[in-house]
Chains A and B, each alone.
Chain A
Amino acid sequence: DIVMTQSPDSLAVSLGERATINCKSSQSVLYSSNNKNYLAWYQQKPGQPPKLLIYWASTRESGVPDRFSGSGSGTDFTLTISSLQAEDVAVYYCQHLETFGQGTKVEIK
């Protein structure tokens, strides 16, 4: 089974600064059949269900602010929040098929 490992487990970033979350898979999630990375990112705020932010590793879901971006291919991926806003405080998860990463908690420094 594929294991998705996120780092760090938590981070504190000042308002307006960049936040970077990493996700590493134990096997490649790049499918040669369509050259797509089967990797998504979710944001979960306290008391709310997760929200899809990014899919195919780098495609932003409709309505997601452009300060959120995804990058990477194969086994190593990154979610970047270019300028952290107060409303971005949340736990972020990466996902490949039925497997989720353990989550990264983002807080304000």
Chain B
Amino acid sequence: EVQLVESGGGLIQPGGSLRLSCAASGFTVSSNYMSWVRQAPGKGLEWVSVIYSGGSTYYADSVKGRFTISRDNSKNTLYLQMNSLRAEDTAVYYCARLAHSSSWFLDYWGQGTLVTVSS
């Protein structure tokens, strides 16, 4: 059974850093395209970042230069390192698997982890 479990969220002050983790089971992270999508409270979905199976990474303009997506193949885990956090980064962060590499259809999602950026 495919499962994605996020962790690492919490309350952080503006300018701070946080690393989110997404532990996968039932499939191999490194063989798939994986993504982070966030949702601000009461708002819609916003794509954040993607990592291809080959290792290429891409970011939304809103987080470029501040966030880094990566994976640990030995732990079958996806990460999102978030630096220089801002109030507008407050959101539930979901990790998700792309069903078909070039299509960006997201067939499995985690339950999400809440990041709150506030002083």
Contacts and interface: CB of A to CB of B under 8 A. Distances in A.
A97 interface: yes
B45 A38 contact: no
Contacts, number: 54
30 contacts: A38-B103, A38-B104, A40-B103, A40-B104, A42-B45, A42-B106, A48-B111, A49-B96, A49-B110, A49-B111, A50-B45, A50-B94, A50-B109, A52-B99, A55-B99, A55-B103, A61-B107, A93-B44, A95-B105, A95-B106, A96-B104, A97-B104, A98-B47, A98-B104, A99-B47, A100-B45, A100-B46, A101-B44, A102-B44, A103-B45
Interface residues of A, number: 22
A45 interface: no
Contacts of B110: 49
B22 to A, nearest CB: 12
Interface of B: 37, 44-47, 50, 58, 60, 94, 96, 99-100, 103-107, 109-112
A51 interface: yes
B106 A50 contact: yes
A95 B107 CA distance: 12
Nearest to A51: B109
Contact of A100 (B44, B99, B105, B111): B44
Contacts of B96: 49
Nearest to B46: A100
Given A55-B103, A95-B45, 9 more contacts: A44-B45, A48-B111, A49-B94, A49-B109, A50-B109, A55-B100, A55-B105, A99-B47, A100-B46
Contacts of B60: 98
B44 A103 contact: yes
